[in-house]
């Protein structure tokens, strides 16, 4: 069974004359442990696709199955709980809670569940992210790269079924960008973490197993990357 199944997904914004079809009948599947890059020009529907898979937006038509579960059949509260346990989101602008420390930001999905993560696992995560000595800092006291590492930690702490990353390196210089990509690949290879990455950077896309190309809300290419 595929970990992610996107079926005839359509999203229309606006009404009547001002209608924009952001996604048009998009279908594809992703297997567990796959690293898929989604590329396309701006306005091609990349972010819309990611928001729909992430369950933060609702489609006009179509289905998204995550780990065998049709996510849009759930009501808002249970979708929120599903999201916190099964989906990890990484944004271009980190989107951390400024009043919480790095560690608290990372374990936020657990905190919302009123659970504590396994301490060993947290230590492992912090050391992988190279944030062990920064764990009690607030986001404002961290560099851009560190902040992005925190947001990666937040996305991964729950071993989600799917991690969605929207231009995770878009706001970083090339050195930091390289580090972040290495980190994401590490999680993908070592922990078989399914990863969907949105980018317009071809070099980054080429590091994935497979590239989906979007244009005007449709998939125009779906090809495996030769290693």
Partner 1 sequence: MKSITANLARSQLKNNRKRTVVTIIGIALSVAMITAVFGFSASGINTMRNLAGEENLSNYRPVLVSLSAVLGTIIILSSIVVISNAFRISASERMRQFGILKSVGATKRQILKIVLQEGLFLSLVAIPAGMIAGLLVEWLGTSIGDALLAPMNKLLNTGLSIHMQFVLSWESLLLALCLSFATVMVSAYIPARKAARIPAIDAIRLTQEVKPTGRKPRAHKLVRLLFGFEGTLAAKSIRRSRRSYRAMVVALTISVVLFLICGSLDAQLAMAVNQTYANIDATSILTFSVNQSDSGPLDADSMQALTDKLKEYPDTQLYGVGIDGTHTIRISETALTDTMLSSYEPGQTEDGIILLAPDPEHYAELCQLAGVPVGSNILLNSTQLVINEKQTEFQPVRFSGQTLTVYHNGTATALPLDAQLTGTQVPQELLFVSEAALIVVVPDTEAYMYVWLGNSLDTTGFTEYAETVMYDFRQTYTSFSVTDITAVTDMTRSLTKLITIFLYGFVAMLSLIGLTSVIAAISANVRLRAREFAVLQSVGMTTSGVRRMLALESIMSAFKALLYGLPLGTLAMYLTYRSVTIKDTYQFIYPWLTAAEAVAAVFLIAVIATQYAAAKLRKGNIMDVIRASEGV
What is the nearest approach in angstroms of partner 1 to the Cβ of residue 91? 8
What is the nearest approach in angstroms of partner 1 to the Cβ of residue 106? 11
What is the nearest approach in angstroms of partner 1 to the Cβ of residue 158? 9
Decide: residue 1, CB within 10 A, 0-12 exposed, 13-18 middle, 19+ buried. Answer: exposed
Cα 162 to Cα 52: distance, rounded to the nearest angstrom: 13
The helix (run of H) or strand (run of E) holding residue 224 is strand 218-224
3-state secondary structure of 215: strand
Residues near partner 1 (CB under 8 A) are: 51, 54, 56-57, 76-77, 80-85, 87, 89, 91, 93-100, 104, 108-109, 111-114, 116, 139-140, 147, 154
Cβ proximity to partner 1, 92 vs 213, nearer residue: 92
| Structure-block tokens of residue 102 | 């790095």
Cβ proximity to partner 1, 51 vs 134, nearer residue: 51
What is the nearest approach in angstroms of partner 1 to the Cβ of residue 35? 22
CB 165 within 8 A of CB 117: no
Cβ proximity to partner 1, 180 vs 205, nearer residue: 180
Cβ proximity to partner 1, 61 vs 81, nearer residue: 81
Cβ proximity to partner 1, 94 vs 211, nearer residue: 94
Cα 3 to Cα 193: distance, rounded to the nearest angstrom: 11
CB 191 within 8 A of CB 197: no
What is the nearest approach in angstroms of partner 1 to the Cβ of residue 212? 21
């Amino acid at each position: 069974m595929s970990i992610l199944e996107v079926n005839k997904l359509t999203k229309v914004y606006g009404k009547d004359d001002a209608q924009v079809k952001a996604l048009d009948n998009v279908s594809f599947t992703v297997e567990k442990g796959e690293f898929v890059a989604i590329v396309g020009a701006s306005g091609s529907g990349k972010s819309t696709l990611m928001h729909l898979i992430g369950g933060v937006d609702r489609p006009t038509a179509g289905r998204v199955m995550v780990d065998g579960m049709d996510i849009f059949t759930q009501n808002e509260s249970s979708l929120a709980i599903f999201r916190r346990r099964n989906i990890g989101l990484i944004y271009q602008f980190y989107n951390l809670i400024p009043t919480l420390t790095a560690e608290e930001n990372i374990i936020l999905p657990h905190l919302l569940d009123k659970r504590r993560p396994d301490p060993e696992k947290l230590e492992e995560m912090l050391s992988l992210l190279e944030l062990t000595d920064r764990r009690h800092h607030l986001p404002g006291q961290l560099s851009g790269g560190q902040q992005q590492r925190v947001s990666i930690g937040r996305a991964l702490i729950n071993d989600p079924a799917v991690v969605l990353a929207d231009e995770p390196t878009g706001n970083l210089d090339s050195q930091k960008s390289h580090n972040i990509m290495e980190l994401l690949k590490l999680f993908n290879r070592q922990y078989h973490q399914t990863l969907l990455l949105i980018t317009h950077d071809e070099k980054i896309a080429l590091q994935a197993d497979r590239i989906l190309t979007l244009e005007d809300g449709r998939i125009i290419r779906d090809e495996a990357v030769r290693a």
